[in-house]
Chain A
């Protein structure tokens, strides 16, 4: 548990550093998702950095692909590629594309970035596993604003219909999207009732409470005949005082001084 928390902090530091260097990218939603991604990559997922395409591995689909820095930080710190490569984020010929590319970066299980499409791919992976009687789990992380996309609900229907019990999804419920509060722009609420109505097991937790995240994943793996949606209450920009709950930090990279301040705050937290 301590290790996961420590790695989540390390990931947040790497997110800030890589975004400052790239001068482009999405800090807010990367920071809100960091604890969930840390719980998976440093706790729950059965993965091997030396064999990133192992057919038996657990899979992760970052449906909200713009939170790529959170995934890249986890993969680098977990040993899939050198941490120094994080400095190349969004630069020409880098393996670290603005949104995850499964053919360029080891450890990325699905190319994502176009919102609303990831859960379908995750469902396909879980279906393939079911066909093969495989033991692997498929994890998917969606944004809350992303759930305004209709395809998400097509996938929700599909996963429940085919009883994809090894599909465990998270909602990074940070309440903000580019144009403002999701409830002002186009409310997808009530998310819990919607997922329940679509036939999923639904859990609601604090998405920054590592114990709660791990317990929810356990509950997800225990449920065999239904997919699980873990709705995680999160804070956009979590861990950096001036970014928290600020819409403006959705897609703006920190400047040098801002990055320094952010890093000092994150280190104090340690």
Chain B
């Protein structure tokens, strides 16, 4: 079964909204795409369309939070995090207001709309803000769990969601623990650390590597901040080689968070799969993933290179 994380977000939000009256939702004229329309259908009196005015939406959400509401605001990640960066910084993160920024259409799997609409720097932007929690779910089950967990958390959150249907990685018994990575597959030769859309291909890569005699662990770091440094360092020590995989620039995101932890601890060697400091372009999601090496084969290649550098 496949489900886009944005689809799971819409459903989870609609359910949560019916249970919790403090939840209010805003969108900037993209509610059918971000799936906040699901919430609007069941809680119309608590859904506010800001129109194509994301900066104001961000500020209004701050005011709603200051009066005790729990606003979820949605748009495409390129606008939700990028256009609004300074509004998020000064009106939400700095005053530590309880706003949930749920950004859909993150990364290159936006596809045909092209580079202007493919956020490849949003994790980096949001991760650098004090007070901000950053979550990148890998499938629908994790998304639903994250929506509920973030609603319980008092403080600013960024939830990164995708457009494309993604395979289910987790089972129905899944338990989400904010800030705690999940070891999906154990291994001793290399640790593949992935988030979001890249978790499923990371698992496929590990399968392929096993056939070649490389025993690779796969870790899902769904919470980029607070970052599960302990787990990452444990596997960096054990495996010696760590490979990060993200649908994001290799600058500032998961790869950087892992690099920071490993270099401060002085352990292991790192390889990073992601956008190599370039923007995306138009194309089908599959063609784009292939082009930029975000495939099981691309991950296998990077793991092999990194393992070969181990001393």
Contacts and interface: CB of A to CB of B under 8 A. Distances in A.
A50 to B, nearest CB: 20
A119 B87 CA distance: 12
B62 interface: yes
Contact of B24 (A101, A113, A131): A131
A155 B90 contact: no
Contacts of B60: 120-121, 123-124, 127, 155, 158
Chain A binding surface SS class: helix
B303 to A, nearest CB: 44
Interface string A117-137: 111111111111101100000
Contact of A121 (B46, B50, B51, B62): B62
B66 A158 contact: no
Nearest to B61: A124
Interface residues of A, number: 35
Contacts of B50: 154, 158
Interface in B49-99: 50-51, 53, 55-69, 71, 86-87, 90-91, 94-96
Nearest to B58: A120
Interface string B12-25: 00000000000010
B56 A101 contact: no
B45 interface: yes
Interface residues of B, number: 30
Contacts of B55: 117, 120, 150-151, 154
B59 A121 contact: yes
- Which applies to chain B's interface (DSSP): helix, strand, loop or mixed? helix
A111 B59 contact: no
Interface in A137-157: 138, 150-151, 154-155, 157
B91 to A, nearest CB: 5
Nearest to B45: A131
Contacts of B46: 131
Contacts of A128: 24, 63-64, 66-69
Given A119-B59, A120-B59, 19 more contacts: A101-B94, A102-B66, A103-B95, A103-B96, A110-B66, A111-B91, A114-B90, A117-B55, A117-B59, A120-B87, A121-B66, A123-B56, A124-B62, A124-B66, A126-B63, A127-B63, A128-B67, A157-B53, A158-B51
27 contacts: A55-B67, A59-B67, A113-B90, A119-B59, A120-B57, A120-B58, A120-B91, A121-B60, A121-B66, A123-B60, A123-B63, A124-B62, A124-B63, A124-B66, A124-B67, A126-B63, A128-B64, A131-B24, A132-B67, A151-B87, A154-B50, A154-B53, A157-B51, A157-B53, A158-B51, A158-B56, A161-B51
Interface of B: 24, 45-46, 48, 50-51, 53, 55-69, 71, 86-87, 90-91, 94-96
Interface of A: 55, 59, 61, 101-103, 109-111, 113-114, 117-129, 131-132, 138, 150-151, 154-155, 157-158, 161-162
